[in-house]
Amino acid sequence: MSTLAESYQLARTIAQPPPPRHPGQWAEQYYRFAEGDPEPGLYRQSRVPLWSLVFELASHPRTRELTVVTSSQQGKTTALLIIPMHRMHDGPRVPVMFVAPSKELVKSIAERFSAAVARCAPLSRLMAGGRRDRVFEKFFARVRFGFAWAGSKIQLRSHPVGIAIVDELDACPENTEGEGHISVLLAARTKNYIASLQISSGTPTIDGASAIQSSWEAGSRYVREWQCPHCEDWYQPRAEHLRWPDGADANRAESHGWLACGCCGATIDDDAKPNLLARARWWPYDIDADGIPQPCAEWRDSGLHASFWATGFFSPWVTIKELRRRLCAAYRTRDPAQLQPVLNTYFGEWWSVRGDRPEWERVRSKVGTFSKGQSPDWTRGILLAVDVQRDRLEWQCVAFGENYQHASFDWGVLFGNPEYDDVWLALSAMRTKAYRGHRIARCIVDSGYRPGYDHYLRPEHKVYAWVRGQAGWAVAYKGNSQQRETARLSKSQADGILFLVNPDHYKSMIYANIRNDSDQYQVPSNVDDEFCKSLVSEELVAMPGGRMLWRVRRGEPNHQLDCLVMGLALASILNWQQSPPPPRHATPKQIDTSYVLGR
């Protein structure tokens, strides 16, 4: 500061209590657009009213997480800058980290932020100058505001923050240099602050394989609706409501098409849009058994995690005619690579695509000459695979013969909270279970879910504790699709009880066995439809850029597929695909001493 009076004024600004206003109200007084922007001047909430509730909940002391799903041209990046700028001005000030998918995008946003601060006199006075004013790092009253890109694990774990913001979540890598997903890394950065806030935003990508979709579904699931001027019913405008004459090209669709009400089918045009936007509302939705969002009967509060979804119809800068022209042009190309970006960026909707998987009826063609609960005649060894859920253990017994022939011949559920010992005692009792003279040779248990985790009351992982008590009969499993090896020992468990497995390899093997005509894999003659559907509950989807991703179909449990994956992985770990399993009449003692890993 140049004078003592300016220093005193800065101290008063820092120490005085904040006025009762949320980020949107603050922006109407201090956030100013540049002369070259489409609408220069002070920010107006009335221009994009969908952000009012987002701003209100962003400053609510109860909110810990915000998820915003929008199309392009809805003021998303501006809103993401306004929220932390308001906190840096009004307080309470906490360190901020703004994350974007690439270094180039981060630099662009950082430069845009610097220009916005320069146009805001109060914040400009609070910002430190000189060496502390860098492109990716600013300081406001000695509180850090940093920018980082999602591909750098060093930047993501170098500073604790009170506000963590990630833009375009779906474009961020799923595993940042082996450290995990960006959302998990950012959550770890905020745990030191009691009133922390984590914000995720972005445009949708592929239905069922979108990180921003999962985050939206985990929150309050607010959907932006408008009220039809004809029937006065509320609904969410979607791309499926656009109409145009048969055979029309993009220009004719723009001039002669219309938007049909999602409730009564009446025609809505651009003349009615300003009034529709001004009176629009947020309304909570639920997800039905088919994975389709449905409006709730009553309003519900957002709780700790508020999530919002607004389609492209709520952008004040894009007309209904323009949306209709874009969609018609994309449909006429019949190219998914053209249609998906239009649905994602212009309409803010997920691209629904069917992945590769066998028909569930195909599983019935793999029936053997045995019934459920009876091991096949060719059985030479049996493995038990267990999938841990919040209120039960799903299990499956897999029989193995020579040349890696295998069959799912028995499965079931052990009900009980895995946080307590009852269900684990029931699982331990299965060690003595015999099928036609065969005991279960080994057991593998999924440790991805940690039952009853509490750092102080239950510091030890319940699955690992049970496995250690089985004296080499059981091992723990954790899936890791990023590793090159099909299975390897984890360094995190010094006693060698945890194996990291790439499940994609075994899922592809299972689907290949279901499709072919061999008897390499078999199921009981009285297998039920539920089990058959569970084995093909995941599909292989091609993501943008060519990456392949296994996705669980909505409403289809995949627990028995996971169990079969674990059974095949354990057989490979025991080297049963190279050498035959233990002989038929071997005793449990012979099995344990001959096939314990590392002996």
What does the pLDDT read at residue 176? 61
d(CA 315, CA 346): 9
d(CA 147, CA 26): 23
Residue recorded with tokens 């295998």: 406
φ/ψ bin of 143: left (φ > 0), alpha (ψ from -120 to 50), beta (otherwise) = beta
**Helical residues (DSSP H) of 16-142, grouped into ranges:** 23-30, 51-58, 76-90, 103-118, 121-126
Query: Residue 3: which pLDDT band, with cuts at 50, 70 and 90?
Result: low
d(CA 147, CA 108): 11
Average pLDDT over residues 193-207: 90
**And the tokens for 457?**
């009351």
- What is the per-residue pLDDT across 242-265, written as a single tens digit (0 to 9) for each? 999 998 999 999 999 999 999 999
Please say whether the beta carbons of 158 and 92 come within 8 A.
Answer: no
What does the pLDDT read at residue 507? 93
What does the pLDDT read at residue 316? 93
d(CA 352, CA 82): 33
What does the pLDDT read at residue 4? 67
pTM here?
A: 0.71
d(CA 247, CA 478): 53
Listed residue (313, 300, 309) closest to 226, CA to CA: 313
DSSP symbol at 515? H
Burial bucket for residue 33 (CB in 10 Å: 0-12, 13-18, 19+): middle
Residue 543 has pLDDT above 70, yes or no: no
What does the pLDDT read at residue 273? 94
What does the pLDDT read at residue 340? 86
Q: Which residues of 581-594 are buried (b: 16+ CB within 10 A; e: fewer)?
A: bbeeebebeebbee
Query: Residue 595: which pLDDT band, with cuts at 50, 70 and 90?
Result: very low
Domain ranges of the chain: 17-229+281-318, 360-595
Listed residue (191, 196, 27) closest to 96, CA to CA: 196
CA distance to 131, 368, 375, 526, 587, per residue, from 437 (Å) = 77, 19, 10, 22, 9
Please say whether the beta carbons of 497 and 465 come within 8 A.
Answer: no
What does the pLDDT read at residue 156? 67
Q: CATH homologous superfamily for 17-229+281-318?
A: P-loop containing nucleotide triphosphate hydrolases (3.40.50.300)
Listed residue (517, 518, 424) closest to 467, CA to CA: 424
- What is the per-residue pLDDT across 314-323, written as a single tens digit (0 to 9) for each? 999 999 999 9
Query: Residue 444: which pLDDT band, with cuts at 50, 70 and 90?
Result: very high
Please say whether the beta carbons of 418 and 424 come within 8 A.
Answer: yes
Residue 11 has pLDDT above 70, yes or no: no
Angle between helices 23-30 and 76-90 (to 10 degrees): 90
Q: Is the dihedral of CA 118, 45, 316, 41 positive or negative?
A: negative
**And the tokens for 541?**
């989807």
Q: Is the dihedral of CA 53, 56, 61, 65 positive or negative?
A: positive
State how far Cα 173 lies from the chain centre: 12
Fold of 360-595: Nucleotidyltransferase; domain 5 (3.30.420)
Please say whether the beta carbons of 226 and 310 come within 8 A.
Answer: no
In 427-503, the DSSP E strands lie at 434-435, 438-446, 474-479, 487-489, 498-501
Helices then strands, counting H and E runs in the chain, come out as: 19, 27
Residue 457 has pLDDT above 70, yes or no: no
- What is the per-residue pLDDT across 346-399, written as a single tens digit (0 to 9) for each? 999 988 766 778 899 999 999 999 999 999 999 989 999 999 988 899 999 999
- What is the per-residue pLDDT across 488-498, written as a single tens digit (0 to 9) for each? 898 877 777 89
Residue 598 has pLDDT above 50, yes or no: no
Least confident segment among 17-21, 64-68, 516-520: 17-21
Write out the DSSP string of 237-297.
--GGGEE--TT--HHHHHHH-EEE-TTT--EE-GGGHHHHHHT-EEEEEEE-TTS-EEE-S
